[in-house]
Structure 1
Amino acid sequence: MKEGLVSIITPAYKAAGYIHHTIESVLAQTYSNWELLIANDCSPDNTAEVVRSWAVKDDRIKLIDLAVNSGPAGARNASINAAQGQWIAFLDSDDLWLPSKLERCMQFALDKKAALVFTGFRRINADGSQTGEYVSVPKSLSYRQLLGNTAIATSTVLINRQIAGPVEMRKTYYDDFDCWLQILKRGHLAWGLNEDLMRYRVLGQSVSRNKKKSAMHVWRAYRDLEHLGVLASAWHFFWYALRGVLKYRKF
């Protein structure tokens, strides 16, 4: 691992319409020691061509072309496996960072000696013409607190691999949520930086917007992956659902 280098993990599928904005937000970062690893998950559009055009301009941008469609977990793992950095940051292909995102997260993580940090954010609509209300984050989350919480948005996360240990996505519906749980299960805290540093793009076809399906998969994560009993699962699910409703009650 290269000390101080941030490896940015970006899975991409049918992302040609938005990924240029995502790349521009990385190029605008005040912290410049990064590599952007974009795993093209067999996109049927020209996602790969768009990424290649940027990679020619800046060799910190690297395209990973997957031979087989592998889903978000497989695409993220492909980028993680190629990552050279001490730090792992996640940025989905339609989301945006504000310019000071990496710099603020790096300093915050170093101050806290944290394995994982995350930040607040705002939603934007598909074309970016509407910006939602600020979504704040708690000061910190333990493993058990995260079980009942929706606070960690993937595109805000920064992980110090020297502290956190291995970072890997298991092939499950919420591979990101599962990954944070596995890191915190080792005894770490996730520290929340309550600053507005990311824009989460809400797309009509986003699977995470299907609340019934999402709820079912959260329940399965408790029972099948975390091996919680029925009562414990019900308790955490209640709080997860309640916080999710409060989080999404306004745009």
Structure 2
Amino acid sequence: MRLPAPFVSVVMPVRNALPFLDESIGSILGQTHAGLELVIRDDASTDGSVDVLRRWSRRDPRVRLYEGTEVLGPAGNSNWVVRAARGELVARMDADDISHPDRLRRQLRVLSADPGVVLVGTLCDGIDARTRTVRGRDRWRLAHPGWGPPFPHGSVLFRREVFDRIGGYRESCDYWEDNDLMLRFAAAGRVVVLPDQLYRFRFHGSSTRAATTQQRMETAIARMMDCHDAMDRGEPYEPLLAGAPGPVRGSVSPRVLFCIGAPRMWAGHSPGILRRLVAHGGLRWNRESAAALAWAALATAAPRLLRRTLATRARLRDRRMADRFPDHVPCEWPARPLLAGMVPLPPGADTDPVLRADGPDAPLPRPGPRALGV
């Protein structure tokens, strides 16, 4: 069957996504860009998600539903739906979030304007389980570089050929497989961000991350942060991924606990880390430990006050960045240069001209955030 151009395959891995599926699916099928399919694989859900998915697949022929009987996990299920996609352009959609009606059209315009752009993400606002906005977008993150992308995973549109070439999602990075994938996309071409709020990211207590055991999540986040630290030193992080990660023993870094507790706080719950932080948080006499302890204590004692304070701070610093990162003008990520070999790519994946360097330590051509003139 000949597909209309530009045709987009929107992929949605699902695992126990009630009660948010209707809003999520409806936001994709209501896009202003009509040439799309929605590829869904249910990862053996136990909450009745598959019944909702069946209703949507009967209602709209653009929905292609696959019902899994085996739990593949975050990385495995994500790879599965991309492999099932028919389009050369693939958009991710998370089963509990909401896309702006014009999201795909706006992203396609950026991707079509420059063949060197391999992935487009967008900024978002944060919503809770009742779809109330709990925090707005924060363009400040575009000006303060980090190895974690400033856009949510579910907001991305990418070239399928590049995804295949760099190896897709990796199970060795489960629960931060999105961050690892974004870094490898950035090593294979240009990753850009639309500063507009074209996505609504949901914080809630039943998300995949929230449902993961504390120990597994601490282990995964600690490994991710170790990899970020290696990149800060200009070193490759692939050696850190060898073998299955062992559980975190002894003290746990305060920043690991903060990363786990923050989504719970934005969802309206206690972050549940204060006791763990005091007993095993590896606290020291430094600013990081003091800030983590103060945050955890306030989030436990007065979570609403902390949410309002942090939301106000995000809104104010976003406004300060409005002139530097105006709406509709994409900018590049990451702002810091990636050194050749820093990000792991499979053999043969470095055929794109952007990857060629004059020597093993030569930086890749990755400028800081700037307007792309699209």
Q: What TM-score comes out, normalization by structure 1 length? A: 0.80
The one-letter code matched in structure 2 to 1:179 is: L
What pairs up with 1:184-199 in 2 under 5 angstroms? 184-186=186-188, 188-199=189-200
Cα drift, residue 106 of structure 1: 0.5
Greater RCO (Cα-Cα under 8 Å, separation 6 or more):
1
What's the secondary structure of 1:196's corresponding residue? strand
For 1:219, give the aligned amino acid. Answer: M
Matched, 1:138 2:142: yes
What root-mean-square deviation, in Å, do the aligned CA atoms of Structure 1 and Structure 2 show? Answer: 3.1
For 1:226, the equivalent position in structure 2 comes to 238
- 1:129-181 CA-to-partner distances (Å, cap 9, x unmatched) read 33421133639x9xxx66x2331310111102345653611112211111122
SS in 2 for 1:138: helix
Give the aligned partner of residue 276 of structure 2. none
Q: Provide the rounded CA distance (Å) in 2 between the counterparts of 1:214 and 1:163.
A: 25
Give the 3 Å change call, closer, same or farther, for CA 207–165 of structure 1 in structure 2: closer
Q: Counterparts in 2 of 1:153-164, with a 5 A limit? A: 153-162=152-161
Kindly tell me the number of residue pairs found equivalent between the two proteins.
233
Paired residue for 1:89?
A: 91
Q: Does 1:119 align with 2:122?
A: yes
> 2:127 corresponds to which letter in structure 1?
I
Q: Contact conserved, 2:125 with 2:133, CA < 8 A, in 1? A: no
CA shift for structure 1 position 225: 5.2
Task: Give 1:33's aligned residue.
Answer: 35
Q: 1-side partners of 2:162 and 2:46: how far apart?
A: 38
Following the alignment from structure 2 to structure 1, what is the Cα–Cα distance between the partners of residues 218 and 161? 38
Paired with 1:44 and 1:246, the residues of 2 have a C-alpha distance of 27
Could you tell me how far apart the structure 2 residues matched to 1:133 and 1:44 are? 33
Q: Are 1:75 and 2:81 matched, yes or no?
A: no
In structure 2, how many angstroms separate the alpha carbons of the residues matched to 1:205 and 1:61? 24
1-side partners of 2:57 and 2:223: how far apart? 36
- After superposition, residues 195-206 of structure 1 pair within 5 angstroms as 195-206=196-207
d(CA) in 1 for partners of 2:185 and 2:170?
12
| 8 A Cα contact 1:55 1:62, kept in partner | yes
Alpha-carbon distance in 1 for matches of 2:149, 2:185: 16
Which is worse superposed, 91-100 or 200-209?
Answer: 200-209
Confirm or deny: 8 A CA contact 1:119 1:195 kept in the other structure.
yes
Cα distance change of structure 1 residues 179 and 214 upon mapping to structure 2, 3 Å threshold: same
With normalisation by structure 2, the TM-score equals 0.56
Partner-residue secondary structure (3-state), 1:4: coil
Question: Deviations 1:222-241 (Å, cap 9, x if unpaired)?
Answer: 5695337xxxxxxxxxxx98
Aligned to 1:231: none
Check conservation: 1:48, 1:63, Cα contact below 8 A: no
The 8 Å contact of residues 66 and 75 in structure 1, kept in 2 or not, is answered as no
Unmatched 5+ stretches in structure 2: 231-235, 241-254, 267-306, 312-374
CA distance in 2, matches of 1:162, 1:219: 29
Contact 1:208 1:214 in 2 (8 A): no
User: Residue 185 of structure 1: SS of its match in structure 2?
Assistant: helix
CA–CA separation in structure 2 for the residues paired with 1:181 and 1:165: 15
Do the aligned partners of 1:15 and 1:47 also contact (CA within 8 Å) in 2?
yes
After superposition, the Cα gap between the structure-2 partners of 1:29 and 1:52, relative to the gap in structure 1 and judged at 3 Å, is same
Corresponding residue number in structure 2 for 1:109: 111
Structure 1 unaligned segments of length 5 or more: list them: 229-239
Aligned-residue identity in percent = 25
Shift, 1:216, TM fit: 0.7
Structure 2 vs 1, CA of residues 68 and 207 (structure 1 numbering), >3 Å: closer, same or farther? Answer: closer
Q: Is the 8 A contact 1:116 1:164 kept in 2?
A: no
On the 8 A contact 2:124/2:151 being kept in 1, the answer is: no
Change in Cα spacing, 1:91 to 1:59, as seen in structure 2 (3 Å) is: same
Partner of 1:217: 223
